[in-house]
Amino acid sequence: QVHLVESGGGLVQAGGSLRLSCAASGLTFSSYAMGWFRQALGKEREFVAAISWSGGSTYYADSVKGRFTISRDNAKNTVYLQMNSLKPEDTAVYYCAAARSLMPRTAPSRYDYWGQGTQVTVSS
């Protein structure tokens, strides 16, 4: 059974930083592209960042480009999202997801497994 468990969320002031982690189990992690999505209250889930199986390719939403960095450690079956210069509009539940694909994907429908999410709240 596949499990994706996010951690690292919390409350931070605007301009601050957080690092999210997502630990995967029950799948051959290095065979999956990984992604981060977020969903703010009352809004649809949106793409944040994605990374290829090797970490050699990454995609970012325009809203986070230059502030967020996605990375992965295949030896630890873990994907990370380093979030810097956080803004109140980054407040959302952040989800990691795994896609049975070698290359990054931006559409939620392309992902096969999802975590339960971790709350990130940025105060102004």
Q: How confident is the model at residue 102 (pLDDT cuts 50, 70, 90)?
A: confident
Rounded-to-integer distance, Cα 100 and Cα 29, Å: 10
Q: Contact 77/98 with Cβ under 8 angstroms?
A: no
pLDDT per residue as tens digits for the range 38-89: 999 999 999 999 999 999 999 999 999 999 999 999 999 999 999 999 999 9
pLDDT for res 10: 97
C-alpha to C-alpha distance for 34 and 36, rounded to whole angstroms = 7
Side-chain-side CA neighbours of residue 2 (13 Å): 18
According to the model, what pLDDT value does residue 36 have?
A: 98
State the average pLDDT over residues 3-32: 97
> What is the per-residue pLDDT for 64?
98
β partners of residue 61: none
pLDDT, the chain, mean = 97
Reduced to 3 DSSP states, what percent helix, strand and coil does the chain have, rounded to the nearest 5?
5, 50, 45
pLDDT in the model for residue 24: 98
